[in-house]
A = this chain, B = another copy of it.
C-alpha cells in the first residue's frame, strides 16, 4: 500500500473513527485503526466491537484531489500513536507506505515515522447490513432528539435494558424514550419511511452519545438502517454501526399521568437559575432534593435546607398557577437536566399531587415530554 493524502482530511477522519476506539478492549487489534486503500480512495475503521465507525476519503471531491493512490493494500496502526502523529505532521501532504511485515512509513516534510503495523486481514469484519427500509432524519434534528433523551438513561447495570434509549417507529413517527425509573425523557418527530414499516429497538446510550459527537450541525439527512441486532447511521462519508440491546423495553405509557391537579407556567431560564442556586446547598444533603411550594399571587417558592451549612429560599413569579395548592420535593439535578433538554422560553409543569410523577413540557409543543418522580419528604 502507498498513497499521498491531504493532512487535514486525514486528521478529521482519524478523529472520527477514534471515537469508537478504546484502550480497554480484550481484542488487541481493536486498539488499532484499520487503513485500507483501494482504487477509489482510503477507508479508515475504528471499533470497540459495540460501536464501529468507518470513514471514507474519496480520491477526489468537488474537483479537488484528496488522495493519490500509488498502490492499493491495507494495514492496522496503533490508534493512539497514529492519531497523535497525523495531528502534528509539518506538511499539508502525508505519504503512507506499507512495506514488509506491515512496517509502515509515514512521511511529511522532513519528518519520517516508522510504525510497526498489523495485518488488516486479521481485523474483525464489520456487520453486514442489507439496506432495507432505509429512513432519513436531518442531522440537526437527530442530534436534538439524542440530546433531549439520552441523559435520562440508567447508569446502573441492574437493568441493562434501561441503559439504552427506546426507539419506536409507527405511522411515520419516531419516538425516543429513555428512563432510569426515577425520571423519563421522551421526544417525537416525523420521519420519512416506507408506509407500514414499524420498529421497536433499544440503542445503547453510549452509542448515541458517540454518534452525536461526530455529527455536524447541518440539515443534511442521515440515513438509518435497522436490522435485528444492529443499527447503521450513514452520512456523506461516515458509517456508524452500533449493536442494539437485547430484551424488551418496559411499556412506559402507563407511567405518564393523563390527569392533572396543579398546572404552573414558568419562564424556563428564571426557573432553571432558581433551581440551580437552590441546589448549591442541596448537593451536600442526600439526593440533592429541593422543595417547591405554591404561594399566593402566582408566586412559587423553591427552598432547600442543609442544617450544617445553611438554607436557601428562592421566589419565582410564575406566568400562571391553576388548580390546587401544592408542596412537593424533587431532585434538583433531574429538574435541571429536564429544563436544559427543553427548547423554548416557557414551560408548563403539570402535577397530580405530591406523591405522583409530574410532567414538564414546553408550552404549545407536544413533541417533548420530561417526567420526574417526586421524593417523599413532607
Contacts and interface: CB of A to CB of B under 8 A. Distances in A.
Interface residues on A, range: 20 to 34
A310 B280 contact: no
A88 interface: yes
Given A88-B277, A88-B280, A277-B88, A81 B309 contact: yes
A111 interface: yes
Contacts of A90: 273-274, 277
A113 B303 CA distance: 10
A312 B313 CA distance: 62
Interface string A307-340: 0111111111100000000000000000000000
A281 interface: yes
B110 A280 contact: no
A309 B276 contact: no
A313 B315 CA distance: 66
Given A81-B280, A88-B277, A280-B81, A311 B114 contact: yes
B312 A277 contact: no
Given A310-B115, A310-B116, A316 B110 contact: yes
Contacts of A281: 81, 113
A111 B274 contact: yes
Given A88-B273, A90-B273, A273-B90, A313 B280 contact: no
Interface in A62-109: 78, 81, 84-85, 88-90, 104
B309 A111 contact: no
B310 A81 contact: yes
Nearest to A276: B88
A210 interface: no
A103 to B, nearest CB: 8
B315 A85 contact: no
Contacts of A280: 81, 84-85, 88
A326 B84 CA distance: 30
A215 to B, nearest CB: 29
Contacts of A277: 85, 88-90, 111, 113
Interface string A270-290: 000110110011000000000
Nearest to A277: B88
A309 B116 CA distance: 6
A276 B274 CA distance: 47
A312 B113 contact: yes
A104 B312 CA distance: 11
A106 to B, nearest CB: 9
Contacts of A84: 280
Contacts of A315: 110-111
Interface of A: 78, 81, 84-85, 88-90, 104, 110-116, 273-274, 276-277, 280-281, 308-317
